[in-house]
Amino acid sequence: MSIAHIIAEETQYSNVKLPLSKLKTALTHIERLMAEHYEWLALVFSTNAHATKFFADMARAEREHERLVELGFRLAGERLDLTVCVDVLDLRDTFAEVSRFRSITPRPTLKEALDFSRDLEKHAAEEHLGTALASVDPSLSDLIQRLGSDDLHHAKALRTFGEHHRPEAHIALSVN
Ligand SMILES: [Fe+2]
């Protein structure tokens, strides 16, 4: 599913006011997208046991993020009608980038996969969204900011993994 399906009418604008209910849908899909991205990489590099385990662990962390987003917004209760200003194009670009990366042939090298994933984590929307939410729902803002700092840890883990494993020694499998 693309971000356009989630927030179709707003996608031509950069900063738009979204009700928290829609933001919840968008964020849930972003976390799921990240989980699926790492699950895909675990398959692509399934001949490399270290890489497979690493990407599977990252996927599990993103699934946990998805669960926390669901829970956090559920606790927001009636505040889900409140609106927050969001850079929708930023969210849409994340979706576009991930599907573009998957369609590249030949399959990415491990180094390319690590670099791309690190960029994704560094540019994840949570940091900005956490700040935007501060005046609307402080506890939700805290949660989203924690998820944002997790993303920065992920970016660091991706770099460390790349430094300690020789990516060129492994060949990516061709999977869909
Ligand atoms: Fe995440």
Q: What is the pLDDT of residues 83-142, one digit of tens each?
A: 888 877 777 888 889 989 999 889 999 999 999 999 999 887 676 777 788 888 888 999
Which domains, and CATH codes, for the chain?
15-169 (1.20.1260.10)
Q: Give distance in angstroms: CA of 121 to centre of ligand 1.
A: 8
Q: Give distance in angstroms: CA of 149 to centre of ligand 1.
A: 9
CA dihedral 157, 55, 68, 136 (to 10 degrees): 50
Q: Which of 30-39, 69-78, 86-95, 162-171 has the lowest mean pLDDT?
A: 162-171
Q: Give distance in angstroms: CA of 65 to centre of ligand 1.
A: 5
Match 């690590």 to its residue by tokens.
114
Q: Give distance in angstroms: CA of 47 to centre of ligand 1.
A: 26
Cα gap 119→113, rounded to integer Å: 10
* φ/ψ of residue 118, rounded to 5: -65, -40
Q: Give distance in angstroms: CA of 96 to centre of ligand 1.
A: 17
Q: Give distance in angstroms: CA of 114 to centre of ligand 1.
A: 16
Q: Which one-letter amino acid corresponds to residue 6?
A: I
Q: Give the tens place of pLDDT for each residue, 10-58.
A: 556 677 888 898 889 888 998 999 999 999 999 999 999 999 999 999 9
Short-list 80, 95, 84, 112, CA closest to 16: 84
Cα gap 102→33, rounded to integer Å: 12
Q: Give distance in angstroms: CA of 164 to centre of ligand 1.
A: 23
Match 């590249």 to its residue by tokens.
104
pTM: 0.86
Q: Give distance in angstroms: CA of 103 to centre of ligand 1.
A: 22
Sign of the C-alpha dihedral computed for residues 11, 15, 19 and 20 taken in this order: positive
